[in-house]
Amino acid sequence: MPLGDVRTIHTTQLVFVNILAWFFLKEKFGLAEAQTTIVVMLGVVMITKPPTIFDDMGADDSITYDSTYYTVAGISLAGAFCQVSLE
């Protein structure tokens, strides 16, 4: 997985922090936050072009998608959960 994709997915941690803070800490999550979350996640999908969605459309054959690809999202979510639990 290219480093740029890893970094892009990692930056979504802030989106997960916002959602988890709303769920666990009852923080404000209004229309603006919801719209921002949708735009950020769509941007990440457009940048990383996961093979499960794009199905080899312009795929680079030198890039292999293994369990690391999906582990990055899980690590970001776990980091967001830890960050919310510290507040």
Are 49 and 57 a contacting pair, CB within 8 Å? yes
Q: How far apart are CA 8 and CA 17, in angstroms?
A: 16
Residues 6+ apart with CB under 8 A from 25: 84, 87
- 22-63 tens-digit pLDDT: 888 888 888 988 888 888 888 877 777 766 666 665 555 555
pLDDT value for 81: 73
- Quote the CA–CA distance of 33 and 37 in Å, as a whole number: 6
Q: Is the pLDDT of residue 1 over 70?
A: no
d(CA 25, CA 18): 10
Residues 52-83 pLDDT 10s: 666 665 555 555 667 776 787 777 777 777 76
Q: What is the pLDDT of residue 48?
A: 73
Segment (H or E) for 42? helix 31-48
**In this predicted model, which residue has the larger pLDDT, 25 or 1?**
25
Q: Helix, strand, or coil here: 49?
A: coil
The tokens describing 72, both together, are 């990055």
